[in-house]
Amino acid sequence: MKDTFFPILLTAFVYISCSSIDQRQPAIKKIAIQISPAALMHSNLEQLKNIIVYDVFSPPVASRIYAYVCLAQYEAIRFSDSSYPSFLPKLHGFDALPQPTAGLRYNFSVAAVKAFTVMASNVIFNKDSLRIYEENMLNNLSDSLDKTVYERSLLLGDSIGKIIWKRAVKDFYKETRGMARYNVQRLEEKWQPTPPDYMDATEPWWHKIKPLALDSSSQCKPAAPYTYSNKQNSPFFKDAFEVYNLSTHLTDSLKTITTFWDDNPFVMNHSGHAAFATKKMTPGGHWVAITSIACQKSKAGEVKTAQALAATSIALLDGFISCWDEKYRSEVGRPITFINKYIDPNWQPFLQTPPFPEYPSGHSVISASAAVVLTHFFGDHFSFTDSSEWQYQGVIRSFPSFFAAANEAGISRFYGGIHYMNAINKGSAQGKVVGRIVLQKLGLYK
């Protein structure tokens, strides 16, 4: 497809703080601009990110949303370039994809928007914002198209979105919504809810979600964690003391790194008896944003952009499934639990401790899996500036490569006092395996 520019009425989200618990409603601001098909792919994902932030999905659940929605977008837009293959036959559980009718004209940007919104509407809560965005996009795209071409393209996109959704219905997500809450074992070597909020465990049944590329949730099982021990010469105690020791002289530079990669979608802030929440991107959303940045820097066209977003999102979802499989098998407790008991009863980590077991580090797993995929698309030494956190943290950071960013994301959890180094190192290795399998399954890497 030629790099045609369409007049588009973009829907931007302007967040307005409404209460002490930070329930922010997305106000709709309409901006008429000229937009290319490639920019349209980025616009779609920006809207999805804003909705995910507003809806406050957990990191694993958000990764599922990104994966299916990005797949739908790619499978529709790829028809504009016959050199790009379908991913669906290479992944688990998808039915045959509908094809454009030979000899008939289509606008695959229209099809991509429709496939994107059909799939997204099934996995988000804030449907009104998505509906307004879809109407604005499609109405403006239709202005320059023959009515028959427009309607034909809509039908193609709709059918593609429904094929992706049909697979999503069968991935066991719905069944996990009704499963029992996590049963906390009152054993000191096992994970316990942590202060200040002692929240329930997040997604204890996520290992039951059917992966897209991996053959099973346990395919990339890492080495076992260190054996729990309070003996000072044990690897476990040494790991814990290393966390504690660093926290006593955490520099401003390390704090900036830690904050930049926090990506906690719902941080509870406490001030006296008052509590309010701060919403941010998820870890997976951060890497989707990095993918978008890389595509824009490299001036990737709409199909490569959509393909990179889809492949990276698949690696993120399967990375979370693989990571969560081990988390709830090993059930390692967080540093705050051990350090308060055996080193310093008053110690607090720099970051709020997430409500799920420690091993392996989720940031390390999914960052490494994403870095493997992105390095395939853009190269070993692709430098980039990550401005995606500016609106949440007011920080911009630059990196010489995707693995440099992934390594920093992983170790930031050590700086934050919420992970041991063993979980970070083993998680990074696990994520690289996940990423390579994803590339192999997609036929992108031999």
- The pLDDT of residue 15 is 36
Chain centroid to Cα 415, Å, comes to 22
Contact 350, 247 (CB under 8 A): yes
- The pLDDT of residue 34 is 64
CATH architecture assignment, domain 198-441: Orthogonal Bundle (1.10)
Q: For the chain, what are the domain ranges?
A: 6-174, 198-441
End-to-end CA distance of the chain: 28
268, burial (CB in 10 Å: exposed 0-12, middle 13-18, buried 19+) = middle
- The pLDDT of residue 307 is 99
Residue 197, number of CB atoms within 10 A of its CB? 13
- Local mean pLDDT, 10-residue blocks, the chain (446 residues): 46 36 45 76 96 95 99 99 98 97 97 98 96 94 93 98 98 97 95 94 98 98 98 99 97 97 71 60 97 98 99 99 99 99 98 97 99 98 96 93 99 98 99 99 88
- The pLDDT of residue 187 is 96
Same fold, 6-174 and 198-441: yes
| The CATH number of the domain covering residues in 6-174 | 1.10.606.20
